[in-house]
Structures are given as structure tokens and as C-alpha cells.
Amino acid sequence: MSDNSPPNAAELRQVMFGLGLAMLLSALDQTIVVTAMPTIAADLGDPQDLPWIVTAYLIAATVVTPLYGKFADVYGRRRVILVGVATFVIGSVACALAPSMAALAGARVVQGLGGGGLISLGQTIVADLVSPRERGRYQSYFAVVFITSSIAGPTLGGVLAQFWHWSLIFWINLPLGLAALLIVNSRLKRLPELRHPHRVDYLGAALLIAASGLLVLALGWGGVRFPWRSAAICGLLAASALAWSLFAWRTVRAEEPLIPLRILELRIVRDAILSSSFGLGGFVGLSVVMPIYYEVCAGMNASDSGLTLIPLMVGTVAGATASGRLMAHLKHYKAVPLLGLGAGFLAALGAAWMMKAGADRSLLSLNALLTVTTFGIGAMLPIATVSVQNAVDSRDLGTATASMQFFRQLAAGAIVALFAALAIGGGRAQLLEALKADADSAALFSSFRLVFLALAVCVGLSFVFLARMEERPLRGERRV
């Protein structure tokens, strides 16, 4: 094969494998650390600063996502994804060697700076190689990455921390990262380099980093470190609102803004972002709070709770795989996710009804309803992503994909905070402890009735915006 010739099917699979490893680094690191946190606190001390292990990574990863998209358009996909993976690996080594909680939090920031763009960059590179008509099938492969991280992450983190040492959850990124670097570099350097002459709006980037960072910090601290109505949280939210206003002002007036108005002005892009943000946010929020229900109400231990989550995760992957593969063969490709979201909305309402006094609270029935909901959400995700990529010019492909991922992450943070507040009374640990003393507490079922109603609202809004979204014909045949 010549240096500039496109890859054949076997070589494309190798590229996908390398990209999957890179995306796994980012996805796995957001789940593997959770079960190891108590052990880390016992070893390093300063348990009051333990939330920073999660918050520091989340802030860094969220704020750099749009920058990765812009840099990928300007400097090329291969260079930018290699920088991201290398930065992530360096941060992982620093985490494993951290002698204190403060040093670990700082190293997590470095990790987040590397991992923040890996998911959107992987989706962008697939968009470069595969036409929109076949892109859904390849995008659905990445669902395997997320199901792997969702299931294996918490279990692996607990096992490594309990039987060996917590630092292994970071050392494991070293071989994975090096493998991703070698595979991605060796394959992508043989492909034509797609670059576009953009200028980076660094002032807009600074304002976006401030706006999103302050918002994520407020959502991470609210109800946990400070009460929601405290001066600290209100101050963070006010400062975030001011920064968002300045970013909007800069976006309108800049000659070439960080997120171009030509992207945001497309209704199909706005509808796809809103649909996927509400849907994915509902799924992430559900996966965070359901272990509370399983362990408090059903009396499960942590490992059994993780296993009970598997059907919900499988539902998402099955939905994404089904709609992604059917997308190339259906003229009205929105039909599958719309049917899925409609069924998911009714299933979420059914789950809320089960929390009523006297209702049948069979765990099997509840999980079946929630799996229907997650199937609908999964079916929507590849359709929304491919629709955005199909609507924008090639010069904006990386920026548009990263922008969608950025808004999804922000929405997920907000909805997780909402679901947690509904599930445990605004994050008050004393309420959760009280509920643990009585697994049949009416207050717990009432709280989760609100959670499932909120889930139904998220799925319903996802349905509405997907239904509004223009169903454009998918461009072209496969490019490879």
C-alpha cells in the first residue's frame, strides 16, 4: 500500500482497534478509580479531599474537549490524538507515583488534559475514513468500549486496590497507552493528512474553560462539600454564568470563534446535541444512582450491585449497535431510535409507577423496564453523532464532533447532580445512612420515583429533539 492510499478493510479494523484502545483509556479512567477511592484515602490521608480525585479529572477533561476538536482540524488528527494519549500516559505515571492527595489531584488534572479529547477524536477519525452512510456501523463498535469500561472499571478497580495496590489502576494505563500510540501512529501516518487553515481563538478558549470549569466545579461540590444554597456554590454558578455570557459575546464578535456560528446556526446540529445530551445525561445519571437502590433497597453488596447494572449497560450497546447497523439501509433512519426512545419513555414511567406504595417492586421487572429505556437511549446516540457529521463541512468535522462531546459531558454532569440530589436528598449523607437502617423505607421509594420521573423527562426531551431534527440523506458511499 502506498503512503497516501486508503486502508483496506483489514487495515481499517486495525485503525479501529487502536482508536478503541485510546478511547478506552479515557472511558475506563472515569470508572476504575471509584471503587479504589476508600483505599487511596486510607493510604494517602486527607479523606476530606477525596472528591478531588474525580473532580480534578472531570474539570480538565471537559474544558479541553472543544480545543482538541479545533486543534485536530488545524494540525491534523494523528498529531493531536498522539499528544492526547502521551499526555494521558504521563499523567497516569504521575498518579501512580503520587505521595499525597494533593499530588494525586494535580496528576489527575494532567490525565484529564490528555483524556478529554480522545473520545471525540476517535469519532472524528472514523468520520474521515468512512462515509456517513456506513459510519453508524463503525460508530457502534465504540459502544463496546463504553460497556467494557462501565462493567470492568469498578470491578477491576476494587480488585486491584483490595488484593494488590491502588497504584496499579494507573499503571495499567501504561501498556494500554503505549499500544494505542504504536497502533494509531503506524496506521494513521500512512493515510492522507486532513488539515484545514483555521485560527484558534485563544481568548474564546480561555472564557470557555473558565465557564465550563466553574460550572463543573459547582456541580461536583454542590450537596457534597458545600450546601447547594451556600455562598460558595452560588458564587461559582454566578461566575460561570458571567463567563458563559462573555464567551457568547466573544463567539458573536470573533472573526473565527472557537465554536463557529456556522455550526451552531444549523438546526440539525442543535437538535442532535440537545437530543444526545438529554439522552446520554439520563443514562449516566441512572448508572450513578442505581447502585444506591440496589444496595439500600435490595440489600446487595457492592459486587452484586455492579453485576445487576450489566443489563442496563448491555441495553445501551444493543440499541447503538442495532440503529448504527440499520442506518445505512433505511431511508428514514430516525425511525429506530424514535421507536426506542418512545418505548423507553413509557418504560421509565412504568419504573416510576413501581415505586408507588403497594406496587410490585420486583427487581427483575424494574431492571427489564430500565433496560428498555437504555436501549432507546443507545439507539439514539450513533444517529445523533452521524447526523451532525453529515451536516457540516469537512473543515469543521473535528470542531463539530468535539463540540457535541463537550455539551454531552456538561449535560451529563448536570443531570448526574440532579439525579443524585433526588436519590439521596440533595447529597445529605445522613439521609442515606437513615435509609440504610430501613431498606423498605417509603422515603427511599419516593426518592427513586422522582428519579425515574426525571429519567422519563430526559428521555422524552431526547425524543422531542430527535423528532425535530432534520433527516438528511446520508452522503456518499464508503470512502475506503
- The model's pLDDT over 26-70, given as tens digits with 9 standing for 90+, comes to 777 766 776 666 677 777 766 556 666 766 787 778 778 777 777
Determine the pLDDT at residue 475. 64
Of residues 304 and 281, which shows the higher confidence score?
281
Is the predicted pLDDT of residue 322 greater than 90, yes or no? no
User: What's the mean per-residue pLDDT of the chain?
Assistant: 77
pLDDT > 90: percent of the chain: 15
- The model's pLDDT over 255-299, given as tens digits with 9 standing for 90+, comes to 777 777 788 788 999 999 999 999 988 988 887 778 777 767 777
Provide the pLDDT confidence category of residue 476 given band limits of 50, 70 and 90.
low
Is the predicted pLDDT of residue 143 greater than 70, yes or no? no
Work out the average pLDDT over 103-130. Answer: 78
Highest mean pLDDT among 3-7, 13-17, 133-137: 13-17
Provide the pLDDT confidence category of residue 9 given band limits of 50, 70 and 90.
low
- The model's pLDDT over 150-175, given as tens digits with 9 standing for 90+, comes to 666 766 766 776 678 878 888 888 88
Is the predicted pLDDT of residue 109 greater than 90, yes or no? no
- The model's pLDDT over 165-212, given as tens digits with 9 standing for 90+, comes to 878 888 888 888 888 888 777 766 665 565 556 677 788 888 888 888
Work out the average pLDDT over 316-343. Answer: 86
CA dist., res. 135 & res. 2, Å (int): 24
Determine the pLDDT at residue 380. 92
Is the predicted pLDDT of residue 430 greater than 60, yes or no? no
Determine the pLDDT at residue 435. 45
